[in-house]
Amino acid sequence: MSERVAVRKTYKLFIGGKFPRSESGRSYPVQNTNVSLASRKDVRDAVQAARAAVAGWSGATAYNRGQVLYRVAEMLEGRRDQFVGLGVPTVEVDEAIDRWVWYAGWADKIAQVYGNANPVAGPYFNLSAPEPTGVVGVVAPAEPALLGLVSVVAPTIVTGNTVVVLVAETAPLPAVTLAEVLATSDLPGGVVNLLTGRPAETAPWLAGHMDVNALDLTGVTDPGFAAELERAAAGNLKRVLRPPAGPVDWYADPGLGRMTAFLETKTVWHPKGI
C-alpha cells in the first residue's frame, strides 16, 4: 500500500472572518509553505472589517464576550497538537490556552476594577466606566509565536476593541492556525484580523491610518522604526503602546496594563433631584 499523499493547507490572511489571499497576489515561503504577503490594501481592507465589527462587538454584553473568549480556549485546547506540530512548545500552547481563559474572566470584571463612582461635591450621580477605544492596530511579537500573539490580542479584544494584527514575518504559521481557531469560536467576523507578511512594509500604513484609534507596538524591535510609527500615529492622536523597554516574561502575570492601554474612561453626570 502506497503512502497517502497529504492534503496541504494554504496559509492565508484572516480578514472579516474570511480567509482571503493577499489582494496583491503575493506570498513568501516559510517552512516550505507559501504564506500570504499582505499589502497596504490588505491593511485597508482589514481596518474596514475591524471598524465594521466595532459596534456589534463593543455592544455585546461583557458576559457574551467572556464566553466567546472562553470558547476560543476550548477550541485551542482541541487543537493543541496542530500547534505542537508547527513547533510550538507544549508549555507555550498550554500557557496560551490558559491566557485566553484568564482574559475571558476579565470581560465582566474590568469595568468594576477600572471604573468607579466619583463623590462629586454636588447633587449629582457621577460614574466613570471604561469603554473600548475602537480599532487597535497591533504589531505582534515574533517570539513566542503563539503565546506572544495571544497575549497581545486577548487583552485588547476582551474589552470590546477590534484588532488588525500584523503577524511577525518569521512566525506566521501559528498565527494562521490561531485564526482558524478564532473562526470556529463564535467570534464575530472582523473582531480579529490577522495579516501575515512584512510588518516593516505594512506597519506604517496601519500607523498612519486615520480610522485606527490605537497602536500596539509590542512586536517592533527597532527603536527607530518604533519612533517612526509613533510619529505617524500622532496624525489622529492614536493611543500608542510602546515596545517593552526590556525582555518580557510572557509567562508572568500579565496585569491589567494591556487591557487599560486600550480603554477610554467615560464619565457620566446626572443631577439628583425630585
Partner 1 sequence: MLARMTATAASARSDLTEVARSEATLRSFLHGLPGVDQVGAEQRAAMLATRSIKTTAKAWAIDLAIRMVDLTTLEGADTPGKVRALAAKARRPDPADPSCPAVAAVCVYPRLVPVAAEALRGSGIHLASVATAFPSGQAPLEVRLADTRAAVAAGADEIDMVINRGAFLAGRYLEVFEEIVAVKAACGDAHLKVILETGELVTYDNVRRASWLAMLAGADFIKTSTGKVPVAATLPVTLVMLEAVRDFRDATGRQVGVKPAGGIRTAKDAIRYLVLVNETAGEDWLHPDRFRFGASSLLNDLLMQRTRLRTGVYSGPDYFTLD
Partner 2 sequence: MFEYAPAPESRAVVELKPSYGLFIDGEFVDPLDGGSFTSINPATEEVLSEVAEAGPDDVDRAVRAARRAYAEVWGPMPGRDRAKYLFRIARIIQERSRELAVLESLDNGKPIRESRDVDLPLVAAHFFYHAGWADKLAYAGLGPNPRPLGVAGQVIPWNFPLLMLAWKIAPALATGNTVVLKPAETTPLTALRFAEICQQADLPPGVVNIVTGAGKTGQAVVEHPDVDKVAFTGSTEVGRQIARAVAGTRKKLTLELGGKAANIVFEDAPLDQAVEGIINGIFFNQGHVCCAGSRLLVQESVYDEVLAALKRRMARLRVGDPLDKNTDVGAINSAAQLARIRELSEAGTAEGAERWSPPCDLPDRGFWFAPTIFTGVSQSHRIAREEIFGPVLSVLTFRTPAEAVEKANNTPYGLSAGIWTEKGSRILWLADRLRAGVVWANTFNRFDPTSPFGGYKESGYGREGGRHGLEAYLDV
121 binds, among partner 2, partner 1, none (CB under 5 to 8 A by kind): partner 2
Q: Does 271 bind partner 1 (CB under 8 A)?
A: yes
- What's the closest the beta carbon of residue 116 comes to partner 2, in angstroms? 6
Residue placing its CB nearer to partner 1 in the complex, 210 or 274: 274
Binding site partner of 272, from partner 1, partner 2, none, Cβ cut-off 5-8 A by kind: partner 1
**With contact defined as beta carbons under 8 Å apart, do 76 and 96 qualify?**
yes
Beta strands (DSSP E) in the chain are: 27-30, 33-36, 116-117, 124-132, 135-139, 162-166, 192-195, 214-216, 239-241, 263-271
Locate all alpha helices (DSSP H) within 159-222, ordered by sequence: 172-183, 199-208
Look-up: residue for cell 515561503? 29
Among 1, 5, 245, 274, binds partner 2 (CB under 8 A): 245
Q: Measured from the CB of residue 237, what is the shortest distance to partner 2 in angstroms?
A: 5
Q: Does the footprint of partner 2 cover residue 265 (CB under 8 A)? A: yes
Q: Does 270 bind partner 2 (CB under 8 A)?
A: yes
Q: What angle do CA 101, 190, 195 make, to 5 degrees?
A: 90
Q: Which does 63 bind (CB under 5 to 8 A by kind): partner 2, partner 1, none?
A: none
State how far the alpha carbon of 261 is from the alpha carbons of 53, 139, 152, in Å.
20, 15, 11
Strands 27-30 and 33-36: antiparallel
Residue nearer to partner 2 on the CB measure, 85 or 244 = 244
Q: Which of residues 123-142 bind partner 1 (CB under 8 A)?
A: 123-124
